[in-house]
Amino acid sequence: MAVQQAAGTDPYFPDHGDPRYRVHRYELALDYRPGPNRLSGTARINAIAGRSPLTEFVLNLGDFKIGRVRVDGRQPHYTHRGGRLRIRPGKPVRAGAAFTVEVHWSGNPKPVNSPWGGLGWEELEDGALVASQPIGAPSWYPCNDRPADKASYQISVTTPSSYAVVAGGRLLTRTTKASTTTWVYEQAAPTSSYLVGLSIGKYQTVLLGDPGLGGVPQHGHIPADLLPRFSRDFARQPAMMDLFQELFGPYPFDEYAVVVTEEELDVPVEAQGLSLFGANHVDGARGSERLVAHELAHQWFGNSVSIADWRHIWLNEGFAKYAEWLWSERSGGRSAQQLAAAAHRLLSSLPQDLRLADPGRKSMFDDRLYERGGLTLHAVRCALGDIAFFRMLRGWAGLHRGGAVTTTSFTAYVGRFAPEPLDDLFEAWVYGTALPPLPMPETRAAV
């Protein structure tokens, strides 16, 4: 596994994340009461100091009351302002040394303000969900909020027994005492803070397909009244899983869950081992099937293979967009070439001032980034030919499983599969802003 850590703070979100240390594991114990939207929690964070002694460090955490902070069992000096919990241990942590942080907090969780609206913990009419991309994780737990700092998680949530709790990972235990139930989930795979998913609601749980011997368990958690529509809209997800494992390599996690809330969501949200959809994405006519494919593909590209910082977001979204096209092509819909042509026509009518390699914070979720990212991968496919292209995709997902990558590491990796240098292709598609000509299959080189 190759892991590339960002050298410093994220240029798009310099107040999020602290590169002076990295987290190995989070153990979160939460108690949530949906009526008053009241959350109290304890976090035990196992971390490792960087190359310099750690005289202080920062965790990101929203507007909560702090009840207790300990570093290796001792009380440090700390301040909590502007979403930053700044901790100064009584004795500096030695360079490279392991240390443990314990934080107790409580309050009414609320989303983190951002240019895209509130992010993170969202109180619903009857329950809650977490949609954190890119900086919403501190809305509900203390974390080193940078995508390259990936850790394992154990999450325990206690809530009234009428509610179900769904988190990314494997359900270890579910224990009912009096009127409350405690759900404990384990996510062993390295996980970015924004990809820790959670949903609390009144759901029915269904099995999607038959995992069989060695298959991937897939479950849906749905309000009862939406189950008939869901059953049709998600019927082909097991076939998507089979296709993506063929094209991208083995599914990188233990299982996969999808949640549909009773409320509408602007867009579905990916989390590690989990995707969240709104009621508006379930119509009984497979009207959002491309989004089902998109979110599933993120489990490989974005979740398992993560980005070192947010400048490289096209490596998440461009890959998931192209997976939509591959699913369409292999399931009897329009071919990737036809969908690439449609995307090219759309982009040709829009401003051409977006650079994939560094789109800027304001444009990181621009639709043009998704479409141009998909087109870039189609251009690579046309240059490599199908055999080398899909060998490259599987190799990329396998080599960087559980790690973090950059645009430069991707272009260098692709070059290993090319019969001739692809510098001009990447200069035009990734580093330039003008829209290059539509890539055509007949330009594919023999490998």
Contacts of residue 146, defined as CB under 8 A and 6 or more positions apart, other chains included, come to 6, 9, 10, 16, 17, 18, 19, 192, 193, 309
- Catalytic residue (one of 295, 322, 324, 371): 295
Confirm or deny that 298 is annotated as ligand binding: yes
- Is beta strand 38-49 parallel, antiparallel or unpaired with respect to 306-307? unpaired
Burial class (CB in 10 A: 0-12, 13-18, 19+), 75: exposed
Known active-site residue 56: no
d(CA 66, CA 306): 31
d(CA 305, CA 147): 11
Provide the sign of the torsion angle of the four alpha carbons 123, 126, 130, 133, taken in this order: negative
d(CA 288, CA 403): 30
Hunting for tokens 């997902």 — which residue is that?
397
Known active-site residue 370: yes
Confirm or deny that 317 is annotated as ligand binding: yes
- Catalytic residue (one of 32, 256, 370, 371): 370
d(CA 152, CA 201): 25
Query: Do 82 and 58 touch, CB atoms closer than 8 A?
Result: no
Q: Which tokens belong to 30?
A: 């939460």
SS3 389: helix
User: Maximum Cα–Cα distance for the chain, whole Å?
Assistant: 68
Confirm or deny that 344 is annotated as ligand binding: no
d(CA 21, CA 425): 37
Q: Is the peptide bond before 223 cis (omega within 30 degrees of 0)?
A: no
Hunting for tokens 């460090």 — which residue is that?
57
SS3 183: strand
- Binding site for Zn(2+), by residue number, is 294, 298, 317
Residues annotated catalytic, as ranges: 295, 370
Which residues are part of a known binding site? 294, 298, 317
